[in-house]
Amino acid sequence: MRKSISEWSFPAKMSLYDRMVLAKEAGFEGIEIALTEDDEAGSQSGAGLLCMQSYSEDAPRIVGAARRAGIEISGVATGLYWSYSLTADDPEERAKAMDVTQALLRSASLVGVDGVLVIPGNVHATFIPGCPVVPYDVAYGRALVAMQEIAPLAAELEVSLGLEYVWNMFLLSPLEMLRFIEEVGSERVGFYMDTGNMMPTGFPEQWIRLLGEHLVRVHFKDFKRSVGTIEGFCDLLEGDVNWPAVMGALAEVGYDGWVAAEMMPPYRHAPEELVFATSRAMDRIFDMGP
């Protein structure tokens, strides 16, 4: 397996190049970059993010920055699905979410990666103020249509869509996620595993075993069940994830691709130290494999 880190794990005002340099110094082989909505968002943070309106121009610059930093781009994610849902009641919002998904695929192809993180929709998200509730069956049908419509572009670009369960009250079990992926019926639509997200209701090692042949990417996060809320996300090795079981399951299904740490605030460490502490923790977790 190859060790990566999400760019969301870095200080917000740090440039993307500086994030790459710091990740490399900390011992990461790759960095997962994020698609944002426009140039203004990127310029305000100083991050130089990959932008919806300019990804074709941004991609060569980002590839060049990665080359100079000596690091690879491991994947592309986005936070835009919390603004534009593929299962929203508003058809214009659903269309915008499809635009986001197309931009993810095309930008990933331009930066040379073969997997992106996709949130296929939601029934509700308690951590999003004012998030509406969509009937479960309606959300399922809309998400299925969306994935079947976008799958041919994914196949054309040779970039896989990794569907993530992320506290969206949707596709709540590994068997349901498996059924959904099989109903989409595309080799380019699979599963993005996050070890922390299902901890309040399940066991990541079980998800891995049931969805192993469909794994696109893996996120490492840890979570304290005794907290139970979003504040339960914590540093790696400080929560309740059974890391030997996770590593055993990944070995069992033969996964040897990218594993990206996605660290969530609040942080116990200073931001720069968090990156080094996370790298050390990932090395220890990798050593727990069979």
Cα 156 to chain centroid distance, Å, stands at 22
Residue closest to 78 by CA, chosen among 114, 37, 21: 37
CB atoms within 10 A of CB 41: 13
Alpha carbons 118 and 79: distance in angstroms, whole number: 10
In this structure, of 12-16, 166-170, 235-239, the range with the lowest mean pLDDT score is 12-16
Beta strands 222-223; 233-234: pairing state? antiparallel
The token pair at 174 is 């590994």
Angle, CA 213 vertex, CA 210 and CA 214 arms, to 5°: 90
Residue 58 is classified by DSSP as H
User: What's the confidence (pLDDT) of residue 270?
Assistant: 74
pTM over cut 0.85: yes
Q: What ranges do the domains of the chain cover?
A: 2-286
In this structure, of 8-12, 175-179, 246-250, 256-260, the range with the lowest mean pLDDT score is 8-12
| Residue the block writes with tokens 């923790």 | 281
Q: Which CATH superfamily includes the segment(s) 2-286?
A: Divalent-metal-dependent TIM barrel enzymes (3.20.20.150)
- Tens digits of residue pLDDT in 219-249: 999 999 999 888 899 999 999 999 999 999 9
Alpha carbons 255 and 115: distance in angstroms, whole number: 14
Alpha helices in 46-90 (DSSP H): 55-69
The token pair at 20 is 């790459």
Task: Give how far Cα 76 sits from Cα of 51, 117, 122, 180, 279, Å.
Answer: 12, 6, 20, 22, 20
